[in-house]
Amino acid sequence: MKSQRSIRLKKYGIVYSAHVNSIDKNSPIPKSIFRQPEKVIVSQQISVKEKKKKKKLNEYQKFVKDESCKEKYKNMKATERMSAISQQWEKKKRENKKKK
């Protein structure tokens, strides 16, 4: 019969910690690599994310952002709010075309 998973993990943990403790201090591989491999991976991912630039919002996105903060949209459901804002956007576009 197989031993329970937690018991097996405890046995592996004991063996792993014994191995890490047995590593010589003069070893070319530092102990921190054995104990915290996740941190190395996370730091590499952060540097990749930092390189990405944020895209600028287009005119419609700016309009939606400004309009959605207004009081007249606060009590509406999300779908109703977006449809009302899009209607306002259409009106604004038509007004801008007439001015030109």
Residue 83's pLDDT is what?
94
Residue 33's pLDDT is what?
53
Residue 42 burial (CB count, 10 A) = 11
Residue 35 burial (CB count, 10 A) = 12
| C-alpha atoms less than 13 angstroms from C-alpha of 97 in its C-beta half-sphere | 6
Per-residue pLDDT of the chain (100 residues; tens, 9 = 90+): 566 767 777 777 777 777 767 765 556 665 555 555 455 455 555 565 566 677 889 999 999 999 988 888 888 898 999 999 999 999 999 988 887 6
Residue 51's pLDDT is what?
65
CA 85 to CA 67: how far, in whole Å?
7
Residue 58's pLDDT is what?
92
CA 90 to CA 82: how far, in whole Å?
12
Classify residue 85 as exposed, middle or buried by CB count within 10 Å of its CB (0-12, 13-18, 19+).
buried
Which residues of 1-100 form beta strands (DSSP E)?
none
Residue 52's pLDDT is what?
67
